[in-house]
Structures are given as structure tokens and as C-alpha cells.
Structure 1
Amino acid sequence: MVQFSSFLSGLTKSISPKKGKKRRIDLGREATEALAKEARKKGLLLTSPGNVSAKCSGNYMSAYSKGGNKGVNQDCFIVWEGFGGKEDVMFCGVFDGHGPWGHLVGKRVKKVMPAYLLHFWREAMAQCPTLMNGELFKNVNFDRFDVWKKSFIKACSTVDYDLELHPVIDSFYSGTAALTIIREGDLIVLANVGDSRAVLGTTSDDGSMVAIQLTVDFKPNLPQERERIHKSGGSVCEPNDESGVSRIHASIDDETPEGPGLALSRAFGDFFVKDFGLISEPDVTPRTLTTRDRFVILATDGVWDVVSNEKAVEIVSSSSSTAAERDESAKRVVEYAAAQWKCKRPRFVADDISVVCVFFDSPSSSQ
């Protein structure tokens, strides 16, 4: 088994960047890959449809993905229980690629994000200890959310730099949205880059299930996003053949936009508009879980374009009693969304769809 202390040592040893802009970044990737391999053997790491049950944390995850009618499925996901060798930490995310190389960009971000996040988390934690009786103890007053927030912001910046320097993947006109989440005890931390969405299923005072949206869909027409884009020299316009869809363009002239447009205001890659308002900085938000909170749904926009928050929560809630039911919860949301594309948008090409359901307690019975 790979010990967490060995992992931290591996992180330190692996940081040997060469000078110059062309250098490749390696922040603990080898150590993280060793941990990932160990987790996969134990059934605690998932990157293909299936489920993960963790006895230590009580988490129970269901994940599923389905390609649309655009060609290769550009969505992908990761579920990692016992993240970084810590039994009480869970990491998962959904990635929605776009553009000619979108499927490779999404997979690359999924691969390197865990290593960069763990590296910067380790850096931040190193600034939070106290020394007592010659031994190292964690400072009880340190802010767990602040540590994860700083780690996510630095990790996302490094991920984008990794893509820019990649010798094979061309991310100039391709990119990916990424929605990732950490659970550590009763704290969940969400880091959102793009228009994927996280929705919480929680119970109200009368016992009914309520849907609470935890993230913002970062589209170019949001006031604060539009303002940043314009200040950067970009423009936001709505194509005549795409009613209701706003896109970033590299020209400040709304009448004659220059080059292709992007329907996201935050994304990894897409360097053709990175100087015109597109950013990869995540929106990092916390939530302290209570006994009322039942599960959270992470899904790409292939779901939310045709399914309401309330309907998604209803579907998952109705299949959450046993392990066998929970195993199918993500698939049920995906299949429902796929059917809605045919019903609500028959003239549109159906989008790729990926869903991860994270239940915060163990099911009543095993499969």
C-alpha cells in the first residue's frame, strides 16, 4: 500500500522543473499515479461507468456517461475515494470537452488535475502546522476551505499551463469545462470552470426533497462575465442561427465578430480567446453538510440543457434506497436526459451527457 507520508515525500522529490518557458510541469504526478493505481485496485477509483462504495467515509457514488450525436464522446469523469491516501477525503469531477481535440483535452485535465491539486494542497497544509512536544500537529484554527480554495486556484492555473505546453494535444481551438468537488468530513468544496453544474438534493422541514443549485453556469452573457470579456478586448454576441446562445469572440466589433466563438466564459484550453476574456480561474465555493443533505449531482450541460434541477433530484431521490438502486441512479438521469433531447430538441444534435451522483450515507442494504 502507498503510504500518505511516502506520497508527500514523492511530491517533493518530483519537483525539478527546468528553466525556460518550454519546460514540462511535473508536480508529483508519479506519486499521484501510484496512489491512483492502488485506489483502483481497491475499487475506490472510477473513470468508467460504475459505482464506488467507501466504508470509511460513508460515501456512495454512481457514475455514467453517454455520447451524443456529435461523434466521439468528449465527456469524461473521475471518482476517487480516499483521495491522496486520505481515507476521509473524496475527489470527483466531470469534464466536458469541445472542439476538434476536445476529447483529448478533457482526458488530459482529468489526468493531471489530481496531481496538481494534491501538490498545492500539500504546500498550503505545510503553512498550517504547529509544533508540540517535538511532533507536528495540525493547527485546529486553520481554515480547511481556504486551504482547498487556494489549492484549486493554483492547480487550475497549472493545468492550463500544462495544456499550453503540451507537445501533442492542440488546445488552441479546443478546450474543456471542468467541475470538481472535494469532500472532507462535513465540508464539500466545489471548483467550477465552465457550464457543468452541481445540484444538491436535501430535505425540507416537511420532509420533501428540495433541489439546491450549488454552482453557476458560466456563460458569456452573465453581467460580470460580459464585463470582464469587454475589458479584455473581446466581444459577446448571439449568432443569428443560434437563438439564446451567447459566444465570446476575439473582436470588439459586435457587428463583425472575428473568428469562431465560444459559448463559455471559463474553460481550460481555447487559447484563441484567452487574451479576450476567457479564463480558467475556478469559482470555488464551500458547503457544510447537514443531516438533511442526501446527495449531490454533478453533470455536464448535456443534462441541464434539457432537464431541470428539480427533475434530476427527483430521479435520483426515487432510486436511492438500496445499493442496487443507487448503482443505476446516474444512468437513469443520463437516459432521461437523452430522451429529452429527442423530445424537446429534435432538430438539434444531442450533446454528450455525463453524471456523477454522490450519496452522503450508505444505502440501507447491499447489492
Structure 2
Amino acid sequence: MKNSHFEFNIFGTCKRISEGIHEPEKMEQFSTFLNGITKNITTKNVNNRRINHGREATNALAKEARKNGLLLTSSGNVNAEWSSNYVSAYSKGGNKGSNQDSFIVWESFGGKEDVMFCGVFDGHGPWGHVVGKRVKKVYPAYLLHYWREASSQRSILINGDQFAMWKKSFMKACSTVDYDLELHPIIDSFYSGTAGLTLVREGDLLVVANVGDSRAVLGTTSDDGSLVAVQLTVDFKPNLPQESERIYKAGGSVCEAEDELGVSRIRASNEETTEGPGLALSRAFGDYFFKDFGLISEPDVIQRTITTRDRFVILASDGVWDVVSNEKAVEIVSAASEKDESSKRLVDYAAGQWKRKRPGFCVDDISVVCLFFHSTSSQQVESD
């Protein structure tokens, strides 16, 4: 009888991949394989316990921040008396069902007065609203855990580079968030996921990490004193050259449906799933069906040093950017008579543009976070 070599996957099943290997060699390979798996599982268990302990500590900090009015997850504003930040945030569901958008604003992130964290999450798919809320809950904890880890190794690993520490922390946090979703015993993320646009301000350093097609736009003053819009992030759509190249290499395809001209989607291109669902973004948390066809959850992380010219930054889901230009959004936020009305004004305007520009289409869910850099208001925190 011919000997066979089998490849095992994480579910314990196996498939034949070659023949002609002698029994002793096969047993030696299998033993090595088991030793490797045991070591890997042990390492992961230790890491998971350490991370979970960090999450417990972060949850306690979050509870305290919410108690003190420094953590916001529903429409309202945050303006701590000792901070130069002022945040206005607002979310409104469209007419497609449950609002799958969510956001978080956390002043004094991790107990540090000079650090702020903001995030906008745009869910999609049958479980999109649940996936978005889950990511909103665990993302700050993982990020804080890895940032503290990087800070403790500052001189050894990254030479004290502030941005390098945040970038490293964001990269690890996004990977762990995606892993957390995949292993969740209740949430079904196979055909559901979320975009995640997050921001950290530490002093004058602004760090933005983007997974998906939400967008960050800066309102800043030009040399002639006029207000201009600067797009800080890339909308990660499947038709972007670097994204489509990765998708095709992974065995996926990028195409437009006849009834959705201008909307590119990732689709599986193998014989077993020639049709199947499509996904209109090239990076997302969850959506594990598409992870085999080029979808990734790796963030694009950028930095900017805030100057006296920079007035505010807008974080918004694509419910805004599909119908509103960067310039118009900056104009609306700047024209608000009160800062706490700025996000609602932009959301309401975008909702009206959906009805005007795309009649017959469902109005998308819309979420906006406006972070003003040089607040002089002494107004206290308010929320719905």
C-alpha cells in the first residue's frame, strides 16, 4: 500500500497532498507538527490571558471615564475643562433597517489627560450592527494594551519614536480585533463586517488608522487665510490599483454589477462560487468569506503634527462622502454657529443629499465625529 502525507488544518480535518513518504518519516513529521501546535496554543493562551487582563483594566478605566463624562458613544459632545479638544458627534440611521454605524470618543484615553481616542465604525451585512458594536468595544482595549506594551519597551524597540509606537500598536490591535471576531462564539462575521476609522491625538501628534472606506478630512487655514479641506485617509475600495492587485493575487476578482455602475466589489472567482455576494470595500474587520479572496484588516496608519492653522478634523462614514465633497463638509462644520451642532448639521445635510442626488436609493446610515483642536469653550460634557 502506498504511503501518504496529510496536511492538517485547525479544524482537525486533513487532505492528501503527496505520496511515497515512508512511515517513520511520516510519524516524525506528525510528531514535529503536534509539538509545534502545542507550543503555538500554549503561547497563544498565555498571550490571551495577558491581553484579557489588560482588557479588564481598560474596561475599568472606560467605566470611570464614562462616569466623568469623558467617554461618549451616543450623539453629544465632549469638552473637558482642562483640554484643548472639543468634540461633537452625531449618528443617524438611514432607511435600510437598524443603524449599523457606531462611534466612540474617549477623552483622557487610558487615564492620560493629553491623549484622546476617536473611532467611527460602519457595519455591513446581516450582522453588521453587532459586528460594529463589538469592534467599538474591544478596539480601544487592545490598542491601549499594545501601546502600553510599546511604551514600556520604548528605548529597546523603537527608539522612543512616538508615531512608531502608535503605528505598531494600531497594527497589532487591528489584527487582534479581527482574531477576536473570528473566534466569537455568537457573532456570525462570515458575511458581515465593519469598516473602522480611528484616531489618536497625543499632544500635537495626530495619528489616524483606517480600515475600510470611511474618511478623515482636515479643516485647515491656507496662506491667504481661507479654510481648505485636506483628505488625510484613502477610501479603500476594491478598484484601487494596489488593492485590486492583492485581490487578484489571492484568487478574487473585482467587478461592477449592471445595476450598480461605479460601485466595484470583491467577488470570489473560483469555480465553486462564481456568483456569491460582493463586498464594496477592500479592507474590513470580519467578512471572513472574503479573507480568502484578498480582503484584509490591516490599517493604513498616517501621522500629522497639528499646527495653529489646523482647526478641526472630521471623521465620517461613507454615508457622508458618497454624497458630500470634502470641501462642502469642511464648509458646513466651520459655518456651524455652535460647535456642538457641527456634526448634526453635516449629518442632516448628507441625508438630504441622498434624497436629492440618489432618488430611489436607500439613504445610508451616517455618522460624524468632529474634533476641534483649539477649543476655548468652557462648556461641559453633554450627551443624549
1:137-164 per-residue CA deviation (whole Å, 9 max, x = no partner) reads xx99611000000000000000000000
Which TM-score applies when normalising by structure 2?
A: 0.84
What is the distance in 1 between the residues matched to 2:335 and 2:53? 42
Alignment equivalent of 2:125, drawn from 93, 99, 118:
99
47-56 vs 356-365, which moves further: 356-365
User: What CA deviation, in whole Å up to 9, does each residue of 1:107-153 have, x standing for no partner?
Assistant: 000000011001111111111159xxxxxxxx996110000000000
Q: Provide the residue aligned with 2:206 in structure 1.
A: 188
Q: 1:358 & 1:149 partners in 2: Cα distance?
A: 20
Change in CA separation of 1:206 and 1:157 when aligned onto 2, cut-off 3 Å = same
Q: 1:25 and 1:119 mapped to 2: Cα distance?
A: 7
Equivalent positions of 1:311-326 (< 5 A) are 311-319=328-336, 325-326=338-339
The superposition leaves residues 272-327 of structure 1 with CA deviations (integer Å, 9 ceiling, x where unpaired) of: 0101100000000000111000000000000000000000000111126xxxx111
Other structure's SS at 2:289 match: helix
Gapped runs of 5+ residues in structure 1? 1-15, 131-138
> Aligned pair in 2 of structure 1 residues 364, 206: CA closer, same or farther (>3 Å)?
farther
1:219 counterpart residue number: 237
The residue number in structure 1 matching 2:183 is: 165
Give the drift of 1:258: 3.2
Corresponding residue of 2:9: none
Q: Which SS does the other structure have where 2:313 is aligned?
A: strand
**DSSP 3-state at the match of 1:271:** coil
**Structure with higher helix content:** 2
Trace 1:1-367 onto structure 2 (pairs within 5 A): 19=45, 26=52, 28-129=54-155, 142-251=160-269, 257-319=274-336, 325-363=338-376, 366=379
Letter in 2 for 1:126: S
Aligned position for 1:7: none
Cα distance in 1, alignment partners of residues 249 and 158 from structure 2: 42
1:24: how far off?
11
Identity %: 78
Larger radius of gyration: 2
Q: Which amino acid aligns with 1:29?
A: R
Shift of 1:25: 6.3
**What is the CA–CA distance in structure 2 between the aligned matches of 1:288 and 1:336, rounded to whole Å?**
30
Q: Which residue of 1 aligns with 2:38?
A: none
Distance 1:259 1:76, change over 3 A: same
Normalising by the residue count of structure 1, what TM-score does the alignment of the two structures yield? Answer: 0.88
SS in 2 for 1:260: coil
Deviations 1:42-80 (A, max 9, x none): 111000000000233310000000000100000000000
Aligned residues: 338
In angstroms, what is the RMSD of aligned CA positions? 2.3
Q: Which residue of 2 is the match for residue 13 of structure 1?
A: none
Q: State whether residues 82 and 88 of structure 1, in contact with CA within 8 Å, keep that contact through their aligned partners in structure 2.
A: yes
C-alpha change, 1:164 and 1:20, in structure 2 (3 Å) is: farther
Q: Secondary structure, in 3 states, of the residue corresponding to 1:73? A: coil
Q: Within 2, Cα distance between the matches of 1:198 and 1:236?
A: 25
The question of whether the paired residues in 2 share the 8 Å contact of 1:24 and 1:162 is answered with no
What residue is the counterpart of 2:17 in the other structure?
A: none
Amino acid at match of 2:112: K
User: 1:167–1:183: structure 2 CA closer, same or farther, 3 Å change rule?
Assistant: same
Q: Separation in 1 of the partners of 2:227 and 2:274? A: 45
Partner of 1:10: none
Q: Give, in angstroms, the shift of residue 222 of structure 1.
A: 0.1
Q: Is the 8 A contact 1:194 1:265 kept in 2?
A: yes
Q: Is the 8 A contact 1:157 1:281 kept in 2?
A: yes
Going from structure 1 to structure 2, the CA distance change for 1:24 and 1:177 (only over 3 Å counts) comes to farther
